[in-house]
Structure formats: structure tokens, C-alpha cells
Amino acid sequence: MEIEMEIEAIRAGKLKQIPGADLEDEDFSGCQLQRINLAGANLVGTNFASSNLNGARLDGANLIGAQLVSADLRANLLGTNLMQADLSGADLRGSNLRGANLMGAKLTKASLAGAFLSGVNLMGVNLQGVDFRGADLRGANLNGANLQGVDLSQADLQGANLNEANLEEADLRGANLAGANLAGANLLCAELDGAKLDGVNLERACLVGTSVGQIAYC
């Protein structure tokens, strides 16, 4: 009974400090959960669809398979496990996702503009339609990720792993790719005007229809 009362208090926005809580598979869809503290919580399969988590603490939480469709996630997600989570249409602008694991996550039409994503794991993830403008992706693992047509303008991708990534028609204008690994990447018709390419690995990369520095690839 006590657990049920706590869950109802959370849904009503009356309980804000519950770090380490076990809320697996609970339904908090559409709830107003601004600034709630769920650091280190077990949130496997939990439903936060359309919820307001602006300013929330979710650092170190386990959100494997969680439903976060259209949620306001401008929150602290440092080191959070978001494997297989559905973040379609979520607002993650400026969020702290450093070191987070997003393998297998759905991010269709999510906004990560200005987000802090250094060291994040996005290996093999379909990122079409995601907004990465000005995002910090230093050292991120984007190996084999689908970034076709994605806006990465002004993003910081220093040292990022983009091996075999699909960057066809991606917007990389003004992006910092210094030291990044683009071996085998598809950059067909990508926009690289003003991009920093010091020490970038372009071995086996497809550069047809784009230009790198003063060299045009046709």
C-alpha cells in the first residue's frame, strides 16, 4: 500500500526526491515531473510518454526499454542507460547525456540541439531526422550510425568514431571533426563548408558530390 501511495504522489507531482527508487514498468505518461530526482532509479520499461521531466535528475538511472515519446527531457541524463528506449519526438535540447548508452534507442524527430553527448554510445542507431545542431559529440561512438540528412552544423565531433557511418547529405557546416574517424563513412553530397578536418581519418570514405577543404569530389 505504501508503494502505491508513493506512486500516486509521484503522478500528482507531490513527491520529488526518490533517488534509487524501483519503478520498473510503472506508468507516468503525461505527468508533470519537473525537477524530480530519480538518480540511479530502476526505470526499466517505465512509461514517461509526453511527460514533463524538465530539470529532472536521471543520472545513472536504468531506462532500458523506457517509453519517452514526446517527453520534455531537458534533464540530467549523465551515464544513463537508455538502450532500446523510445525517445521519438523527445525534447533533449541542452540535456546532459555524457557517457549515456543509447544503443538500439529510437530517436526519430528528437531534438538534441546543444546537448552534451561526449562519450555517448550511439553505435548503429538510426538518427535520421534528429537535430544535433551545436551538440557536443566529442569522443562519441557513432560507428555504423545512420545520419543521412541529419543537421550536425556547428557540432563538436572531435575524436568521434564515425566508422562506416552514413552521412549522406548530412549538414556538417562549421562542425569540428578534428581527429574524428570517418573511415569507410558515406559522405555522398554532404555539406562540409567551414568544417574543421585536422587529423580526420577519411580512408575509404565516399566523398562524391562534396568538397573537403579546397578539394572537390565529383
Three cell numbers written together for 69: 515519446
User: What is the value of pTM for the model shown?
Assistant: 0.92
Contact between 196 and 173 (Cβ < 8 Å): no
User: Comparing 8-17, 144-153, 155-164, which segment has the lowest mean pLDDT?
Assistant: 8-17
- In a 3-state reduction of DSSP, which class is residue 97? coil
Q: Where are the beta strands (DSSP E) in the chain?
A: 211-212, 215-216
Q: Average pLDDT over the chain, rounded to whole?
A: 95
pLDDT at 217: 53
**Once rounded to an integer, what is the mean pLDDT over residues 63-86?**
98
Answer yes or no: is pLDDT of 213 > 90. Answer: no
pLDDT at 4: 84
How far from 192 is each of 6, 33, 188, CA to CA, in Å?
52, 40, 11
**Once rounded to an integer, what is the mean pLDDT over residues 48-52?**
98
The gap from C-alpha 75 to its chain's centroid, in whole angstroms, comes to 12
